[in-house]
Amino acid sequence: MSIALFVLRRLGRGVLTVWFAVTVTFLLLRLLPGDPALAVASTNMTEEARAALLTQYGLDKPLPTQYVLYLGQLLQGNLGTSFTQSVPVLDVLAQRIPWTLLLTATALVLTVVVGIPLGVAAAAHQGRFVDRAVQVIGVTGQSLFVPSVGILLLYLFGLQLGWLPIGGAYSQNVFGFEWYGSVLSHLVLPAVSLTLIQLGSYALTMRATVVEALRDDYVVLARANGIPYRRILWKHALRNALLPATTLIGLQLGFLVGGAVLTETVFAYPGVGRGIYEAVTQLDFPVLQGAFLLLAVTVVAANTLTDIAYGFLDPRVKAS
Amino acid sequence: MRRPSALPAAAVTALAALALAACAPQAPEEADAPATGGSTAAAAGSDTLTIATTTDVVNYNPLIGNSRSDYWITNLMYPHLLSIADDGSKEPMLATDWGYVDDTTGYYEIRDDFMWSDGEPLTADDVAYTLNAVKRDAPAGTFYGQMGTFEAESAVAVSDTRVEFTLTEPDTSLVEEIGFWGNVVPQHVFEPAGSVAEFANDGSDGGWVSAGPYLLTDVQAGQSYTMERVEPYPLVEGGVPGPETVVYRVLPDVNTEILALQSGEVDAIANALPPAQVEQLRSTEGIEVVEVVGLGYAHMVYNMDNPDLAKTEVRQALAHAADYESIRQVVLQGQAVSTGSSALMPVLADYYDESLTEYEFDPELSRSLMEQAGYTAGPDGMFPVSFRLIYSLQDSVGSQWAQLVQASAAEAGITIELQGTERNTYLAMTNEGDYDIYAGNFAIMDDPVTNFRLSYLPGGAINYTHVDDPELNELIAQAGVTTDEDEKIELMRQAAAIVHEQVYDNIMYTQNLYVAHSSDWTGFISKPSELLSIVNPVSVASARKTDG
């Protein structure tokens, strides 16, 4: 199969996945038991006022009509208008996207940069202290609850030691390089929290794949040929183990975004995750649809890129 | 074997990096930034009062107020006609005098020294426009909900300082209720924007105008709202608000808020503290905890559409099967007071009736009442009834006492199934009457007549009991048209006695609220309820840095 066809097929699959996600999101939101009108005005409203609100939101139309109108809007790049804020959804999301991207990308990089050496070290010392320590860290990390970790970090590094700020994404009243420094200092704790909850699964996966790679015939042959173990480990076994780890990065992006909802809440980080939480409490369908579309596109794009990269790294994938 | 080329992978990585860079947060330009304000009080300057809130502003249009942050921030720009005292009585704010010209004509006399920040005077025309626009466009929110007997397009500015309007029928609560709940908006800004129900007022068309002590000048969504001092503000001495800048910082987690207060990053917390945090903060050096009078109540309501609950004895049995004192002591840590199981809470001093006493927790009496209602307990001591109690999982206090209610009812042989749901589901179930017992609370029940109308008249928006008692209806109707205050109080007490005896509502307590601020600041003027507390406009404008 040519590279172009391979890429096209992956892109086509991505578009179909996004359409599916858009449709499921649209239907699921309307299956929720709540009522957007009540979420805005509580129960202290007349039936007429409620009906007027539903008309204003376009929720008085039959479901298929709403769906067709929504898809039509989407194809024109229009994500609709927020029920509660009366402003375009794109404007609502545009303010928040950069912060979520910064947070999740940082956490992803940290996860990979720390997770790979941890996994490799554990595999290289299988059954010994380092291996057991990594496994304990891995399992513990997977069972951490973000808000608890977040508050603990804030208490320690924000209140007691005073090294890092408590909440927010940057200090106001600072500009230029100082502003970037402030962004960095505000980023540390949420990124570390998010990394901690992802690191375990990544390190354990790396460990398992490296252990498997170390059992392959070519490793035995390399050792028999007298190639140093360190070189076999880092140059040969790790390269092969990186393929499944690459896939995991794509998959983890979805989990990272999920974790960002809680992380952004505890650290008052102004990202999309927190926006989703607020929109859920207000049943703001357009904002939720826009946010989930954005997340779907991001995750699908990341996975498509991973697939394509995988195709380049392993010709067997492309051939299949 | 040919090694895979690194070029395509590098290209993909570079593309991804470029995409990320394009979306990266951009540093603000110095010229665009607010004059003051920031994420730390110290960085923001000594004349900046930084207040923490848990939510972002949802809507800048005060006529569509939704979240508490909407209320707090828009209140600093759009004045109310009336304020409220600790006993629930109304006080002057923009209006200096108010009342009725005759049975169906209301009026407000307003101050002549309020100005909008763009130089336009605030006159009776703004008040008349606001009232008529809200009635006409029906924006979602409490303001419109209070305008039931207001006749459409009837408000007229009869002078620069006097507004008169017509009522569709006599209603002695209307003037005070819309005066208290409604903000006045600038006609010259809102009228050109069309329907007030759809106007975002998000400042995108040249910013905001304010007739309050502060003007919103900078919004960092999800982060902070910066407001600058507006002079003169006639409601503070000397006309100059204390803090030069007020910054509302959004810290969604209350624990993060408390850490930020302790570290000095914020100077005050706007929302009420969770009961469990009050004592800890009281003993924290540098923090002042202020008690705020509660004007609402928590209650249980029994749905009379259920044939079992339609029986008075069953409702009485349930009322005697809850240990209210334990709930107040254990769940609320003593930070609540009994209302004598009456909607006329002690805080409403003129209306409170000491002769109504709290339903005593007495499982044996409950059992006896159940037997009077015709039920016989089985061998396990349980009666053959089961009631489904709904509550919101977002209400942590209610979620806890619901468990206690279930346990104490079991002692009386009554089975209660708990159904805690997410808030929107809870609201939908409430609206559809999909419950046997409703557990919830109201933040402000300031006017007894309005409260009784909504709660106990057929079709009332919060008549969750689904009660229709002719005697009660008549008393509420009479109270609604009686101008003699003593007579009105007597009628309301009679109505409350019926509600109490028939258990049309089971009022459990009024929660005392506590808010916290840094002891670096002083001068706050607390008002009842979480909505006003120490962040009401006069309080914020009166705040001062402590000496030294």
Strands B386-392, B437-442: pairing is parallel
The CB density around residue A75, as the number of other CB atoms within 10 Å, is: 8
Q: Which residue has the higher pLDDT, B516 or A176?
A: B516
Give the pLDDT score at B50. 96
Q: Which residue has the higher pLDDT, B523 or A43?
A: B523
Give the pLDDT score at B37. 30
B39 in contact with A, Cβ within 8 Å: yes
The average pLDDT across B104-131 equals: 97
Considering Cα of A233, then A235, then A236, then A242, what sign does the dihedral take?
positive
Give the pLDDT score at B145. 83
Residue B451, helix vs strand vs coil: helix
The two most distant CA atoms of chain A are separated, in Å, by 84
Give the pLDDT score at B5. 47
Mean residue pLDDT across chain A: 84
pLDDT tops 70 at residue B44: no
CA distance A3 to chain B (A): 11
> Tokens standing for A226?
């007298």
Structure confidence at residue A1 as a pLDDT band (50, 70, 90): low
Query: How far is it, in rounded angstroms, from Cα B336 to Cα B275?
Result: 10
Task: Check B222 against A99: CB less than 8 A apart.
Answer: yes
Task: Check B222 against A96: CB less than 8 A apart.
Answer: yes
pLDDT tops 50 at residue B542: yes
Of the candidates B245, B270, B298, B289, which has an alpha carbon nearest to the alpha carbon of residue B70?
Answer: B270
Residue B292 near residue B513 (C-beta atoms within 8 A):
yes
pLDDT tops 60 at residue B548: no
| pLDDT tens per residue, range B382-411 | 999 999 999 999 888 999 999 999 999 999
Query: How far is it, in rounded angstroms, from Cα B258 to Cα B264?
Result: 10
Task: Check A49 against B27: CB less than 8 A apart.
Answer: no
| pLDDT tens per residue, range B332-380 | 999 999 999 999 999 898 999 999 999 999 999 999 999 999 999 999 9
Task: Check B424 against A174: CB less than 8 A apart.
Answer: no
Give the pLDDT score at B136. 94
Phi, psi (deg, nearest 5) at residue A126: -50, 130
Residues of B with Cβ-Cβ distance to A174 under 8 angstroms: 38, 43
| pTM summary value | 0.83
The average pLDDT across B264-269 equals: 95
B232 in contact with A, Cβ within 8 Å: no
Of the candidates B300, B333, B490, which has an alpha carbon nearest to the alpha carbon of residue B406?
Answer: B300
The average pLDDT across B199-219 equals: 92
Among A132-136, A171-175, B367-371, the least confident range? A171-175
B481 in contact with A, Cβ within 8 Å: no
Reply yes or no on domain B297-511 having CATH 3.10.105.10: yes
| pLDDT tens per residue, range B228-242 | 999 999 999 999 999
Query: How far is it, in rounded angstroms, from Cα B445 to Cα B426?
Result: 21
**Residues composing chain A:** 320
Give the pLDDT score at B18. 54
Structure confidence at residue B14 as a pLDDT band (50, 70, 90): low
What is the share, in percent, of chain B residues with pLDDT greater than 90? 75
Residue B145 near residue A48 (C-beta atoms within 8 A):
no
Structure confidence at residue B98 as a pLDDT band (50, 70, 90): very high
Considering Cα of B303, then B304, then B309, then B313, what sign does the dihedral take?
positive
Query: How far is it, in rounded angstroms, from Cα B543 to Cα B521?
Result: 7
b/e per residue B28-52 (b: at least 16 CB within 10 A): beeeebbebbbbbbebbeeebbbbb
Cβ neighbours of residue A41 closer than 8 Å, sequence gap 6 or more = A49, A50, A53, B66, B140, B141, B145
The two most distant CA atoms of chain B are separated, in Å, by 100
The average pLDDT across A262-289 equals: 87
What is the share, in percent, of chain A residues with pLDDT greater than 90? 16
Of the candidates B389, B402, B258, B281, which has an alpha carbon nearest to the alpha carbon of residue B335?
Answer: B281
Structure confidence at residue B15 as a pLDDT band (50, 70, 90): low
Q: What angle do CA B191, B193, B198 make, to 5 degrees?
A: 110
Mean residue pLDDT across chain B: 90
Round to the nearest angstrom and report the end-to-end CA distance of chain A: 8
Query: How far is it, in rounded angstroms, from Cα A10 to Cα B452?
Result: 63
Query: How far is it, in rounded angstroms, from Cα B521 to Cα B524?
Result: 8
Give the pLDDT score at A157. 93
Closest chain B residue to A158, measured at CA: B263
CA distance B57 to chain A (A): 9
Cβ neighbours of residue B350 closer than 8 Å, sequence gap 6 or more = B87, B89, B485, B489
> Helix B448-456 to helix B485-502 angle, to the nearest 10 degrees?
40
Structure confidence at residue A214 as a pLDDT band (50, 70, 90): confident
> Tokens standing for B526?
């607390």
- DSSP letter string over B25-75? PPPPPGGGS-SS--SSHHHH-TTEEEEEESS--S-S-GGG--SHHHHHHHH
The average pLDDT across B20-33 equals: 60
Strands B224-229, B156-159: pairing is unpaired
The average pLDDT across B100-127 equals: 96
Give the pLDDT score at B19. 57
Structure confidence at residue B43 as a pLDDT band (50, 70, 90): very low
Structure confidence at residue B188 as a pLDDT band (50, 70, 90): very high
- Token pair 């009062």 is found at B49
Give the pLDDT score at B38. 34
What is the share, in percent, of chain A residues with pLDDT greater than 70? 93
Query: How far is it, in rounded angstroms, from Cα B412 to Cα B321?
Result: 6
Give the pLDDT score at B21. 54
What residue type is assigned to position B171 of the chain? Answer: D
Structure confidence at residue A295 as a pLDDT band (50, 70, 90): confident
Task: Give the CB-side neighbour count of residue B226, counting CA atoms within 13 A.
Answer: 25
> Tokens standing for B99?
């009342």
The CB density around residue A28, as the number of other CB atoms within 10 Å, is: 11
Q: Which residue has the higher pLDDT, B38 or B525?
A: B525
CA distance A270 to chain B (A): 4
| Most confident option among A254-258, B324-328, B445-449 | B324-328
Task: Check B252 against A274: CB less than 8 A apart.
Answer: yes
pLDDT tops 60 at residue B9: no
Q: Which residue has the higher pLDDT, B477 or A14?
A: B477
Q: Which residue from A175, A186, A312 is facing B4, i.e. has the nearest CB?
A: A312
CA distance B366 to chain A (A): 32
Query: How far is it, in rounded angstroms, from Cα B10 to Cα B363?
Result: 75
Q: Which residue has the higher pLDDT, B527 or A58?
A: B527
What residue type is assigned to position B183 of the chain? Answer: N
The CB density around residue A212, as the number of other CB atoms within 10 Å, is: 14
Among A29-43, A169-183, A272-286, the least confident range? A29-43
Residue A176, helix vs strand vs coil: helix
Task: Check B222 against A315: CB less than 8 A apart.
Answer: no
The average pLDDT across B536-544 equals: 96
Strands B287-292, B513-518: pairing is antiparallel
Cβ neighbours of residue B468 closer than 8 Å, sequence gap 6 or more = B458
What residue type is assigned to position B541 of the chain? Answer: A
Cβ neighbourhood burial of B501 (10 Å; 0-12, 13-18, 19+): exposed
CA distance A238 to chain B (A): 16
Task: Check A282 against B58: CB less than 8 A apart.
Answer: yes
Residues of B with Cβ-Cβ distance to A85 under 8 angstroms: 58-59, 200, 202
pLDDT tops 70 at residue B489: yes
Task: Check B39 against A315: CB less than 8 A apart.
Answer: no
> Hey, of B259, B444, B463, which one would you mutate to test binding to chain A, going by the most A CBs within 10 A of its CB?
B259
Among A97-101, A257-261, B439-443, B502-506, the least confident range? A257-261
DSSP B287: E
Size of interface A-B (CB pairs under 8 A): 225
Query: How far is it, in rounded angstroms, from Cα B128 to Cα B155?
Result: 5
Residues of B with Cβ-Cβ distance to A274 under 8 angstroms: 222, 252
